[in-house]
Amino acid sequence: MSRERMIFTSLRAPLSEWKCSGVLGSGQLNEANSRPSQLRRACRVVRLITKEAGHLAGAHDIVERAQKQRLSQSRQIAMYVCHVALQFSLSEVGQAFNRDRTTVAYACRVIEDRRDDRAFDEFVASIERLSISILADLELLDDA
């Protein structure tokens, strides 16, 4: 089984748990769920995927060892995926992560610069594919 497939399989099971525990909210798309709340939910899912994939892949060489750096890099990757792969605006991503749009732009530049490293690029590409697949499955991309 490929590494990406293993990560995808291990992430699919917790989705129902995330939904039931309120991490994702109700998941129902109706007038009560505005675009901003859907974006926040989608960004939260991407952040969880990034964090879990880093742990599952044993990405200590990809995501820095220091705890503070690991958390900020995980957040930067999630912001990058939300902006580049999911095509949310910098302002929308900033609101979802409680950051300024310039912070999101900086995160995108940092991650883009690091994609020259083949292992890091493969890791980010996997996060992009997983995020798109899972968010489409949860129907969080339809109106986004």
Q: How many CB atoms lie within 10 A of CB 76?
A: 22
Instruction: Check: CB of residue 56 under 8 Å from CB of residue 7.
Output: yes
pLDDT of residue 99: 96
Q: How many CB atoms lie within 10 A of CB 72?
A: 15
**DSSP string of 94-106?**
HHHTTS-HHHHHH
The answer, yes or no, to whether residue 87 has pLDDT greater than 90, is yes
* 74: nearest Cα among 99, 102, 46, 94: 46
- What pTM was estimated for this model as a whole? 0.71
Q: At residue 61, what is the residue type?
A: D
The answer, yes or no, to whether residue 31 has pLDDT greater than 80, is no
Domains of the chain, residue spans: 3-137
Whether domain 3-137 has CATH 1.10.1750.10: yes
What are the tokens at 99?
Answer: 């950051």
Mean pLDDT calculated for residue range 56-61 = 60
Mean pLDDT calculated for residue range 2-16 = 51
The answer, yes or no, to whether residue 102 has pLDDT greater than 50, is yes
